[in-house]
Structure formats: structure tokens, C-alpha cells
Amino acid sequence: MTRTELAARIDHTILRPEASSAEVHRAATEAMQLGFASVCVAPVWVGRVATMVRDFQPPTRVCTVVGFPHGANKPTLKAIEASSTIKDGADEIDVVAHLPPLLKADAETVKAELLEIVRAARATNREVVIKVIVESALLLKALNGKDGEAALAAGCRAARESGCDFVKTSTGFHPAGGATVEAVALFKKHAGGLKIKAAGGIRDLATARAMLDAGADRLGMSHSVAVLEELGADIG
């Protein structure tokens, strides 16, 4: 895998709440210069970053988060946040699902929440990419074994049946942890056409490759530049 190929599968992420304007500007610049799939920023920065990358070629997509990091907002508020950030210029949104229904493997309740968000998002921009964050580390640690797998399967089903595009492992902010190869492999088993984003704790090239090998289509990372530097020159 070349640097260009790897970069094209990375959402270059800066979601620290204390991130400054200069830091966000630098992340967006890095995304443009290095060819990352997107730059992922907090909702407050979307308008500025969208303006910054608008005329850059090849295009750099703008990603943001909804209901972040806990997912405990009412679905109506998540829908409003989704629509607002899309109007500001977000091309992709990563939505944190409400976790208690997932812990019960209650796909119908999760689906109902996501449907409200998806309808609002797609009414604003039909082409927006929607990813659902299910905190896979929490589900697997809290439930173990077949119950943990059932919870991940429920998250996949809810995301798929509500019309989302990706299922995503983690926010990177939950104490249970971030992406694991086990979670990505289970998502791959149950995705049924969904794409998979691994995020949370991916800080080196070996981990990034392991996630891709397990079936991830996209990686969410704040250490993206350092990982590309590990790969070396773009020589294949």
C-alpha cells in the first residue's frame, strides 16, 4: 500500500474540545496537502473548514460529528445538528447512537433514532455520507461473547435499515477504549453492505494495517501524518 492509497482511506481528525483555530486550520491544510479522505472537525468549525477546502483539487471532504461524544441527545436534537452542519458544508457526518438500546441489542429502537436523523440529513443533502458510532469496545467488554456480538449485529442492522452508509467502532473518547481488530472483524461479518470505519486508538502503521486487513474501509485518526511518515516514500 502506498502513502497515497493509505491517505485516501483516512479521516484526518481533530476533535479535541480545546483545539484552537490554528490547530484546526493546520489539520485542514494537512488533509488537502496529503490527500486524506476527509478532515473531521467539531461542528463549530465546519463552516470555516468547508470554505477553506471548497476550491481545492482533488476535493477534500469535510466530516463532522453529531451527538458527540456520548450520544445522549434526543434524536430531534441530533437531527437538527445534522442538518445544521450539512448546511454549513459537511459532506459526511458521524452520528453517535444512543448506547442503552445497543447494550440490549435492541435494533428497532436504534433504527428509530437513526431514521429521524437520516431523514433530516438527506433532506438537506441527498449525497451526505452517514456513519453510525456504536462504541464497540463498550459493547464487547460489557456483554462479552455472543451477547457482545449480538449487540454489534444489532447496531449494523439498525444502521443498514435506516439508510446509513457506515458503521463506526468508536468515538475515541469512551473509557472502554477504541477500535479493535475483533470489533472490525465482527462488523465485517454482520455489515451486510455497510462500510466500516475503525477509529479510536489508531496511532501507528501496524495498527492501521491490522484494521484494514480485518475489513475496515476507512480509518479515523488524529495521528494520521505520523502514520504516513512511517510508511515512507510513495513507492508502493
Is 197 noted as a catalytic residue in this protein? yes
Q: Tell me: cis bond preceding 75? Omega within 30 of 0 counts.
A: no
Cell of 85: 452542519
Active-site residue among 11, 78, 168, 217?
168
Is 141 noted as a catalytic residue in this protein? no
What angle (nearest 5°) sits at the alpha carbon of residue 120, between those of residues 58 and 108?
A: 110
End-to-end CA distance of the chain: 6
Is 195 noted as a catalytic residue in this protein? no
State the Cα–Cα distance between residues 151 and 147, nearest whole angstrom.
Answer: 6
Cell of 200: 479510536
Active-site residue among 131, 165, 197, 217?
197
SS3 of 130, please?
Answer: strand
Cell of 212: 484494514
Active-site residue among 88, 94, 165, 217?
94
- Assess contact for 86 and 134: CB atoms under 8 A: no
State the Cα–Cα distance between residues 29 and 8, nearest whole angstrom.
Answer: 15
Would you name the residues annotated as active-site residues?
94, 168, 197
